[in-house]
Structure 1
Amino acid sequence: MDRETFWAIVERARRAAGRETVTAEGADAVARHLVAELSVLSPAAIVSFEQAYDDVTEEGWRWDLWAAAYLMRGGCSDDGFDYFRGWLVAQGRAVWDRAVADPDSLAEAGVDPDDDAVECEAVLSAAGDAYAVATGAGTDAFWGALDAADRAAPPGPAPADPAGEDFDFDDDEQMHARLPRLAAIHRPRE
């Protein structure tokens, strides 16, 4: 699946959710509608969507974006960064593209600085859930189909470390220098 098709499906789910998506509840609504959008596709197309999701979120495998998540969430583990990128996908292509190019642009996303729930684990499982709905098979069948598709057209090795320069997320001076707008809004939590 190409990126245009991937983002068109996400945008349809966003429209169907019909609400502000910056909250965790809004992003979860997008995920539910994403399952509905995907479940009417062929099993192969659902697997292809997951491959496109993996490609897109790999673009966001960056230290500076992880730092933004760290500020916005009041800390961010590696799993938390996956959930953050799921939330970011639920915000749509325009927000995603701006955030990957300039993570500090997330200061304009409208996130309540007292709400650290900028995550959406449900987006990560949307394709698997849709596959289960479409086929009647469990998610194990989805992961098997994804593995088979990846073997047929290997995606290439995933980078071991995020792109960009690693730095200390607990260093307020560095965070303010690298993400000045976000750091001004989302102060480190004690």
Structure 2
Amino acid sequence: MGVDEFWLLIEQSARETTGKEARLEWLHERLVQRSAEEIVDFDAWILTARRKVDTWLMWGAVRALYLDGSDDGFWYFQMWLVGQGRETFERVAREPDALVDVPAVQRLVVMARNRQTWTNDDWPTFESLAYVAVKAWDQATGKGHEELADALESRGFELFALPNPTDEAWELDNAEESARRLPRINRYMRELYG
């Protein structure tokens, strides 16, 4: 499975379903019909995408928009961003400050400002997307997730359970540093919150 097919599956799951659980089921149904190698490919593309956005700058963008600030929250946000589709993902991966332009993000920020409660489908997290290949692997091969992990590691992937940013670390709660590194997000938030 190439990268184009990976993104096609991600985007089709959004177009053909409603809600995160339905998307997961849709993806599972397609992956379980694939070869073991293609399931590994899908998971490898998930990991490749995740590494692109597992940065301090992206984490700072998430925190500056009040989407979540925890280790787990940022880890699950990465999968949510993958779920937004290739164009949005790639744009934001290149420029984390562009996260402020994502319509779903703007809607959530406005909802939070207006003290509206987010539903489970609203939350900018999609933890289970990281496990859809594991579930399909288990069903399709009859092997445990350890063998999938071995297959990924044999391809050179390091498996992490929490964020592991590799770019320049900075104090995410430092307002001046956040404004310098993420000017568009900070301007948007100042304008929104007055």
TM-score tier, shorter chain, comes to 0.7 to 0.9
Structure 1 distance, partners of 2:126, 2:20, is 6
Give matches, 1:12-31, under 5 Å: 12-17=12-17, 26-31=19-24
Deviations 1:122-169 (A, max 9, x none): 11111112224434x4xxx342221331354333698x9523321111
Q: 1:182 aligns with which of 180, 185, 190?
A: 185
Give 1:107-126 correspondences, 5 Å limit. Answer: 107-110=100-103, 111=105, 112-113=108-109, 114=112, 117-126=123-132
For structure 1, the residue ranges without an aligned partner over 5 or more in a row are 20-25
Identity of aligned residues (%): 29
The answer for unaligned runs of 5 or more in structure 2 is: 113-117
Please give the alpha-carbon distance, in whole angstroms, between the structure 2 residues aligned to 1:157 and 1:151.
8
Q: Which residue of 1 aligns with 2:150?
A: 148
The residue that corresponds to 2:115 in the other structure is none
C-alpha displacement of 1:28: 4.7
One-letter identity of the residue aligned with 2:125: E
Deviation per CA, 1:21-67, whole angstroms, max 9, x where unpaired?
xxxxx445433332233222123311221122112211112111111
Work out the CA distance in 1 between the residues paired with 2:76 and 2:159: 21
| Structure 1 stretch displaced more, 91-100 or 33-42 | 33-42
TM-score (norm 2): 0.77
**Partner amino acid, structure 1, of 2:11:** E
Question: What are the residue-to-residue correspondences of 1:1-190 with 2, within 5 Å?
Answer: 1-17=1-17, 26-110=19-103, 111=105, 112-113=108-109, 114=112, 117-135=123-141, 137=142, 141-155=143-157, 161-186=164-189
Aligned match of 1:23: none
Normalising by structure 1, we get a TM-score of: 0.78
Q: Is the 8 A contact 1:38 1:46 kept in 2?
A: yes
User: 1:170–1:39: structure 2 CA closer, same or farther, 3 Å change rule?
Assistant: same
Query: Which segment drifts farther, 173-182 or 105-114?
Result: 173-182
User: How well do the aligned residues superpose, as a CA RMSD in angstroms?
Assistant: 2.7
Q: For the residues of structure 2 that align with 1:149 and 1:13, how far apart are their CA atoms?
A: 25
